[in-house]
Every structure is written in C-alpha cells, then in structure tokens.
Amino acid sequence: MAEIHLQQLAHSYAPDAADPAYALKPIDMVWQDGQTYALLGPSGCGKSTMLNIISGLLKPSHGRVLFDGRDVTALDTGRRNIAQVFQVPVIYTSMTVAENLAFPLLCRKMPQAQIKKRVEDIAERLGLAAQLRRRANALTADQKQLVSLGRGLVREDVSAILLDEPLTVIDPQMKFELRRILKQINEEFKLTMVLVTHDQDEAMTFARTIVVMNHGEVVQSGGPNELFEAPATRHVGYFIGAPAMNFLPATREGNEIRVPGLDLSCRAPRELAKGPLEIGFRPEKVELTGPGQSIRGVVSRIWFEGLEEIVEVTRGGQTIRARLPAGSCRHGSEICLTIPEAGLRLYQNGRIVT
C-alpha cells in the first residue's frame, strides 16, 4: 500500500513540438494510502494517460511520481509493485482459473499453503470457487474479467491496484456486486485502489474521492456528495447526475441575478467579474410543493423510471428537468414547480461563483 503523490505532473505525446498539445495538463495531487479513487471523464480526457504514468507504462514529459515519498518516475512497472487490471482481460487461457490466480504469488515464491489459501479466498469473494479447475479458455467474457481482476487482488503486498475500466464487459447486476466486493477488500486490507471509468454510477458507488477530468485537466476533485451538491464547473454539473444539472442563462438586475422569462433569481455577490451568468440547480432539488421560488410551465416530455419519473417542463423558451414521484403529472398539462433557494448555484464563465 502507498501514498501516491503526482508532483507537478504533465504529459505531452509530442513534447519537442513548437507548441506541444498536452494530453495531461499540469497537476499536483496526493492520493492517501489505503483509499479508493476514481478518475472520471469522457473518452480522451487523459484518464488512462494518468493511470499509465502511475503504473510505469508511460514516462511523463514533466513532473514526478512519488510512492510514499520515494521517486519512482524512472522505474519500470515491475519495480513499482503495483497491480493493473485492464478493460480487456489479461489471463493465460491455457491455465486453469486456480493456476491463473496463483501465478503472481508463484512468481514471488510464496509457500504453497499460503498460495492455496489466498487463491481460494479471492475465488470465493469473486464467485469463482466452482470454476477453479476449469481452463480459462472455457470461461465466458465476464468470468475471464473476474479472473483478471482476481490476479490483481490476490497479492496483499501491492503499493496500489489500478483498474482501467475493468467492469465494461461485466453485466450490470454483477457490476453492482463487484463494486461492493472491491470496497469490502479495500476496507479489509487497506489497499490503495484507483478506478478509471466514464460511468458516473461506477465512480459514485466505488470511490471515496472522485477526480473529474476534461480535456486533460482535473476540473474538480472531491467526494460524491460534494460533486453532486456543488459542481465546480458546468462540465461537472453535466457529467455528474442523471439527468444532468439544469443551467439557465441569467442577467444581473441590481442586487439580484435573474433568469429572463422565469420567476427565478438569486442574490448577486458584491464583486462579480465580467462574463456570461447562469443559475444552476439539480432536477432532484425541484419539488411540486414546498417553500421556494415557483415556476409555472407545460409538461413537454416524461421519462418513466420506476417509482420516479423525469419531467421536462417548458416556459418562455426555457426548459427545466425535474425528478418527481411517478404519476405526478400528465403530458401537456400545466404544473407549478418549486425550487428551494438553497438548491440554486450561480455560475459565471462556466465556473461556480462562491
């Protein structure tokens, strides 16, 4: 297990170019020993670049990687004592499941009794106990990924376990169970775990700290509740939450910031730089009754989601989405929505105004 410090880290795949483009823009972060982290963002945002730098598959063009204060930037993967699980299963198809799980321990010349116990323990946790004697080439795609995941978890002495979208090929119900198992293993063995994903549900249910990335930049880092309640940027508000956060263009009128055409406003801060303004709020904050600012509109669309439904309401050219109890309204009907002032956030130039 290790504390990981990304010290003034940045990377360009063409560092000698006259104007190099950075796949990973300068960052300085410390990841605590034994915690769970998720790198969250769209394809091409720099998540895998960062993970490959940590693992040693890629040497950064700028900065250093420190494990417990020790500079490992120049060390190859084998000397960093990490386990990495990829999106495509990496296993030996000619071996049995048990032999695959045991292989990393055999390479470290652990006693056979310890290997057997550890393999059986991990197999039991991952639901592979009944498959231990099967050849890996006879497994389904999700079973092969479970074996690949098990090869990363079987070692107890690793500095970190790096998970590069390993749940993509696994069915949704199994994903839920696996996230629970990974968190359980983290709590028991205090392993530092870093998950790369573009799926916000995976990130929110797995990680204690989520690092949201966009265009090679870390735009916000924090706990799931922090990112949901106060997204630092418009991008985070869109990427976290389903449906995404509502953002409505606004203007300053004296001491208030108002949304034209709607009875929606918030107090203007004393000092406000120049730039476009928006008022943002979560669909989950919208209610049919209760204290707050009221908005009337026509229901233009409804998405059924079990006990709840997503309702799209339009008025004066503006569209608002709300998460309401199922059966609350009908398509084409006029309804009154209430938004508590505590749920409103002010943004300027795409960034939150504090």
The CATH number of the domain where 73 resides is what? 3.40.50.300
Domain end among 234, 265, 280: 234
Task: Say which residues have a Cβ less than 8 Å from residue 118's Cβ, sequence separation at least 6.
Answer: 105, 110, 154, 156
Would 239 be classed as within a structural domain?
A: no
Q: Cα separation of 226 and 166, whole Å?
A: 26
Whether residues 47 and 193 fall in one domain: yes
Whether residues 167 and 271 fall in one domain: no
The residues of the chain scoring below 50 in pLDDT are: none
Q: 333 — alpha (psi -120 to 50), left (phi > 0) or beta?
A: beta
Q: Cα separation of 327 and 11, whole Å?
A: 51
Whether residues 198 and 262 fall in one domain: no
The CATH number given to whatever domain includes residue 265 is 2.40.50.140
Domain extent, residue 186, equals 4-234
* CA geometry: angle 109, 112, 117, nearest 5 deg: 115
Whether residues 92 and 160 fall in one domain: yes
- Counting the structural domains of the chain, the total is 2
Phi, psi angle pair for 27, to nearest 5° = -140, 155
Whether residues 94 and 192 fall in one domain: yes
Would 240 be classed as within a structural domain?
A: no
Would 250 be classed as within a structural domain?
A: yes
Whether residues 153 and 74 fall in one domain: yes
Q: Is the pTM of this model over 0.85?
A: yes
Whether residues 114 and 221 fall in one domain: yes
Domain end among 210, 234, 258: 234
Q: What is the pLDDT of residue 243?
A: 93
Whether residues 200 and 171 fall in one domain: yes
Would 127 be classed as within a structural domain?
A: yes
